[in-house]
């Protein structure tokens, strides 16, 4: 019988109010039975639904222009083609289905960019469960299309006004709801964060990404890729893309974090102008887990920043923290500008408009192997980049952020003026 | 705060790696011989909470002293953390006011040093602040407990630290003479309850209802069930979450509690005073008056239901 992972080295654990502990024990047991041991054919049903409803498997596509630009074979794992436009559905569908098996009556979730909220709203509609999504006010304003999608799918969207109104506050507020409603409600956490068993369970639902990459690489490359690159906020697409390669030491794993506008911090104001917790964070306890965090010298959590809402979080999954300490995963920080350029480059060169989150992974390739690249990393012959989501939700933000800057490769947006 | 010389001394002389906290020495229950907190529950206790430094350092000193003047038997002082996941809107706002006024963990201990009260104090805070306290590179958790002991704090409540993760902190609290209070929720039962009761000391915080902190008009009916589950454990039971009037306090004690914990109803007074620019004396007088009502309620509750010996 497989047993749940609760700690990753010193990271992880269950730092939550007592009221939630019985629910977490119940969830741990359900995770062990249904997910790890496929009781009642749970995983069979999950695979069937993620195929028929979600559209899996997603393609592994050769990127001709990028390959020519970087002098290596670049393959794209097209999670942007999953139903809903991002990898998020893997986890959302898995957890909503699990909640059903557990006999829960209601779904709650937090969302940052709105991708997880959208995926949860779709999964809840698909499985006929009432659903409430907490979203920071600032993110609601940045991600209006996703707010509409959630509402249209029948979910309640509740704005969170505390603090800066981003993902961190939305998670805190969802945990408060859960503490009140724990007997009937399941909290579908949106990343590999939070108390055990969430980090391991969310990873397992997303692991299908790397399982497919392995299979598809064998067919297309005749072997495993030399590296897998994924963006990392909380880290769910990252761990999903890495999970099946952890034991393959020849496959390098790069986690592209949001370098924001700068990697320095303003301690006085409690603000970090980035979200690079793997590269710069210190060990601490946030939202139920011990992990790497952006915090001040006193242990107060700092506000993070990124041009992309989905990476804008002060913490990161505990397993990624552990893998970075072990040297298995290499974190790289990609700043706002590099990400925006990569957003336009992928759109123009490959005809794929990526999410701003995803653009960070491509920004990494450019920063090391582009015409002005620093060569800090010598890319292997084949690189798989996880295209974690599509950029439709980001169009307004991307245009606005592009206009603030002078980017070499940005198209003119004059058509929108007047 | 009157210093407890003996305690400070024992903290200083303690073996730095003495207790790893893996096992509680007196697993049968709390050590009844030394707990100042437990002694505070000899008669039905009123345990108020305020966030230290809300809305500013000086006013907050006055407010906490007003609680003592109003009959507090133990005072829970909140050390504000930026992500208070167990708190409702009232205390979240208090945390914001206090942090904006410059509260830090070190400043919190200066606050305790500056307080002129004889009532035993408990620090309520979140684990990350305990974990990060101390000079860079020092071992985690111990410096905080040492500093708290030196300031004369009698105990700690850590809402995001369940019994499963608490052994390290429990070990240092034992070593340095602090009590560690755990929160028992309406959902806590069976093995979990037992694990927690093996580790608790001072008093047990009985969470009257699911959810987060906040004043309510009605009383929860889950309290009696929780108190029943706790009957066999020889440690004072203080009920909190939602208590806001003397009547509530009376009913809770009549149901078998040894004390009442009141936070949001008092923080509401501080918040209103701050919003309306009331002078600190007026706010303090209001706090003292509600304290008297709550304390009287608790005492009245004990008279309503004569409790058996030894509880």
Give me the residue spans of the domains in chain A.
20-53+88-202, 60-85+207-411
Name the residue among A17, A282, A293 with its Cβ closest to that of B85: A17
Q: Do A60-85+207-411 and A20-53+88-202 fall under one CATH topology? A: yes
Active site residue A417: no
The boundaries of the domain holding residue B115 are 41-304
Residues of A with CB below 8 A from B212's CB? 176, 179-180
Place B305 in a pLDDT band, splitting at 50, 70 and 90: low
Please name the residue of chain A whose CA is at the shortest distance from the CA of residue B208.
A19
The answer on pLDDT for A3 being more than 50 is yes
Do residues B164 and A14 make contact, with C-beta atoms less than 8 angstroms apart?
Answer: yes
The answer on pLDDT for A388 being more than 60 is yes
Residues paired with A8 in a beta bridge: A11
Name the residue among A162, A179, A282 with its Cβ closest to that of B86: A179
Considering only A116-125, A212-221, A332-341, B9-18, which range has the smallest mean pLDDT?
A: B9-18
The CATH number of residue B223's host domain is: 3.20.20.70
The pLDDT value recorded for residue A277 is 96
Strands A60-62 and A73-77: antiparallel
pLDDT tens digits for range A128-153: 999 999 999 988 988 888 999 999 99
ipTM above 0.90, yes or no: yes
Tell me the average pLDDT of chain A: 94
Cβ of residue A14 closer than 8 Å to a chain B Cβ: yes
The answer on pLDDT for A188 being more than 60 is yes
Place B214 in a pLDDT band, splitting at 50, 70 and 90: confident
Compute the nearest-CA separation of B188 from chain A (Å): 7
Considering only A42-46, A385-389, B137-141, B271-275, which range has the smallest mean pLDDT?
A: B137-141
The pLDDT value recorded for residue A271 is 82
Residue B28 contacts by C-beta under 8 Å, 6 or more apart in sequence? none
Compute the nearest-CA separation of B109 from chain A (Å): 13
Q: Do B131 and A17 touch (CB under 8 A)?
A: no
Alpha-carbon gap, residue B71 to B297, rounded angstroms: 11
The answer on pLDDT for A170 being more than 70 is yes
Q: Do A300 and B129 touch (CB under 8 A)?
A: yes
In a domain, B14, yes or no: no
The answer on pLDDT for A95 being more than 80 is yes
Query: Looking at A77, A88, A100, A104, which residue is catalytic?
Result: A88
- Residue B123's SS3 state is strand
Query: Looking at B38, B65, B76, B288, which residue is catalytic?
Result: B76
> Which residues between 206 and 265 in chain A have a beta carbon less than 8 angstroms from any beta carbon of chain B?
none
Query: Looking at A110, A212, A337, A357, which residue is catalytic?
Result: A110
Alpha-carbon gap, residue A167 to A187, rounded angstroms: 15
Cβ of residue A399 closer than 8 Å to a chain B Cβ: no
Place B137 in a pLDDT band, splitting at 50, 70 and 90: confident
Name the residue among B85, B164, B187 with its Cβ closest to that of A14: B164
Q: Do A21 and B187 touch (CB under 8 A)?
A: yes
CATH topology of domain A20-53+88-202: Rossmann fold (3.40.50)
Alpha-carbon gap, residue A108 to A119, rounded angstroms: 12
Alpha-carbon gap, residue A242 to A247, rounded angstroms: 10
**Domain total for chain B?**
1
SS (H, E, C) chain A: CCCCCCEECCEEEEECCHHHHHHHHHHHHHHHHHHHCCHHHHHHHHHHHHHHCCCCCCCEEECHHHHHHHCCEEEEECHHHCCCCECCHHHHHHHHHHHHHCCCCEEEEEECCCHHHHHHHHHHHHCCCCEEEEEEHHHHHHCHHHHHHHHHCCCEEEEECCCCCCHHHHHHHHHHHHHHHCCCEEECCCCCCCCCCHHHHHHHHHCHHHHHHHHHHHHHHCCCCCEEEEECCCCHHHHHHHHHHCCCCCCEEEEEEEEECCCCCECCCCECCCCCHHHHCEEEEECEEEEEECECCCCCECECCCCCHHHCCCCCCHHHHHHHHCCCEEEEEEEHHHHHHHHHHHHHHHCCCECHHHHHHHHHHHHHHCCCCCCCCCCCCEEEEECCEECHHHHHHHHHHHHCCCCCCCCCCHHHCC
Cβ of residue B114 closer than 8 Å to a chain A Cβ: no
Q: What is the DSSP letter of B82?
A: S
pLDDT tens digits for range B26-60: 434 444 446 899 999 999 999 999 999 999 999 99
Compute the nearest-CA separation of B28 from chain A (Å): 21
Selected residue of B52, B79, B84, B86 to mutate for chain A interface (largest A Cβ count, 10 A): B86
Active site residue B76: yes
The answer on pLDDT for A301 being more than 70 is yes
Q: Do B186 and A19 touch (CB under 8 A)?
A: yes
CATH (residue range A60-85+207-411):
3.40.50.1100
Cβ of residue B105 closer than 8 Å to a chain A Cβ: yes
The answer on pLDDT for B11 being more than 80 is no
The pLDDT value recorded for residue A415 is 66
């Amino acid at each position: 019988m497989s047993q749940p992972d609760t700690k990753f080295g010193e990271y992880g654990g269950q730092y939550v109010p007592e009221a939630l502990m019985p629910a977490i024990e119940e969830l741990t047991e359900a995770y062990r039975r249904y997910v790890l041991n496929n009781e009642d054919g749970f995983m069979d049903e999950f695979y069937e639904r993620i195929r028929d409803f979600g559209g899996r498997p997603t393609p592994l596509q050769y990127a001709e222009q990028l390959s020519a630009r970087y002098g290596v074979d670049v393959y794209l794992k097209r999670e942007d083609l999953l139903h809903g436009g991002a990898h998020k559905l893997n986890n959302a569908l898995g957890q909503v289905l699990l909640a059903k098996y557990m006999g829960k009556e209601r779904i709650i979730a937090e969302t940052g960019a709105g991708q997880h909220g959208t995926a949860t709203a779709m999964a809840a509609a698909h499985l006929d469960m009432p659903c409430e999504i907490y979203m920071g006010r600032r993110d609601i304003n940045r991600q209006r299309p996703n707010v509409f999608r959630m509402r249209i799918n029948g979910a309640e969207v509740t704005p969170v006004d505390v603090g800066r109104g981003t993902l961190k506050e939305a998670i805190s507020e969802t945990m408060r709801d859960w503490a009140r409603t724990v007997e009937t409600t399941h909290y579908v956490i949106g990343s590999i964060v939070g108390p055990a068993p969430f980090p391991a369970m969310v990873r397992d639902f997303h692991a299908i990404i790397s399982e497919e990459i392995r299979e598809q690489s064998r067919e297309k490359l005749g072997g495993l890729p030399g590296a897998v690159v994924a963006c990392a906020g909380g880290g769910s697409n990252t761990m999903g893309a890495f999970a099946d390669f952890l034991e393959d030491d020849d496959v390098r794993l790069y986690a592209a974090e949001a370098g924001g506008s700068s990697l320095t911090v303003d301690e006085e104001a409690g603000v970090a102008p980035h979200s690079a917790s793997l590269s710069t964070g210190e060990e601490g306890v946030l939202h139920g887990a011990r992990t790497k965090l952006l915090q001040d010298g006193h242990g107060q959590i700092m506000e993070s920043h990124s041009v992309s809402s989905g990476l804008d979080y002060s913490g990161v999954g505990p397993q990624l923290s552990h893998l970075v300490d072990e040297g298995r995963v290499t974190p790289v920080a990609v700043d706002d500008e590099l990400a925006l350029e990569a957003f336009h480059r992928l759109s123009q060169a490959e005809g794929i408009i990526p999410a701003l989150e995803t653009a960070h992974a491509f920004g990494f390739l450019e920063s090391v192997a582009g015409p002005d690249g620093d060569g800090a990393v010598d890319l292997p012959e084949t690189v798989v980049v996880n295209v974690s989501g599509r950029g439709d939700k980001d169009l307004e933000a991307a245009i606005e952020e592009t206009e603030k800057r002078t980017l070499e490769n940005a198209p003119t947006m004059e058509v929108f003026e007047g | 705060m009157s210093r407890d010389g003996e305690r400070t001394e024992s903290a200083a002389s303690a073996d730095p790696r003495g207790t790893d906290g893996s096992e509680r020495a007196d697993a049968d229950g709390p050590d009844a011989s030394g707990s100042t907190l437990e002694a505070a529950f000899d008669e039905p206790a009123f345990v108020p909470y305020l966030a230290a430094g809300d809305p500013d350092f000086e006013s907050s000193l006055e407010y906490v002293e007003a609680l003592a003047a109003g009959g507090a038997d133990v005072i829970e002082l909140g050390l504000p953390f930026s992500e208070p996941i167990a708190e409702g809107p009232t205390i979240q706002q208090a945390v914001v006011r206090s942090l904006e006024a410059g509260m830090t963990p070190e400043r919190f201990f200066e606050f305790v040093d500056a307080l002129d009260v004889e009532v035993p104090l408990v620090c309520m805070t979140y684990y990350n602040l305990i974990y990060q306290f101390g000079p860079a590179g020092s071992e985690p958790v111990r410096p905080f407990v040492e500093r708290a002991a030196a300031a004369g704090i009698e105990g700690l409540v850590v809402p995001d630290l369940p019994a499963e993760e608490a052994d390290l902190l429990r070990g240092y609290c034992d070593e340095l003479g602090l009590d560690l209070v755990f929160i028992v929720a309406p959902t806590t039962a069976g093995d979990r309850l037992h694990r927690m009761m093996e580790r608790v000391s001072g008093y047990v915080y009985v969470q009257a209802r699911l959810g987060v902190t906040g004043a309510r008009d009605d009383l929860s009916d889950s309290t009696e069930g929780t108190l029943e589950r706790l009957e066999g454990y020889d440690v004072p039971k203080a009920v909190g979450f939602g208590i806001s009037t003397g009547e509530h306090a009376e009913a809770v004690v009549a149901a078998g509690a040894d004390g009442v914990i009141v936070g949001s109803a008092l923080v509401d007074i501080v918040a209103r005073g701050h919003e309306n620019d009331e002078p600190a004396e007026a706010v303090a007088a209001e706090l003292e008056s509600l304290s008297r009502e709550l304390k009287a309620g608790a005492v009245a509750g004990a008279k309503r239901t004569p409790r058996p010996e030894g509880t």
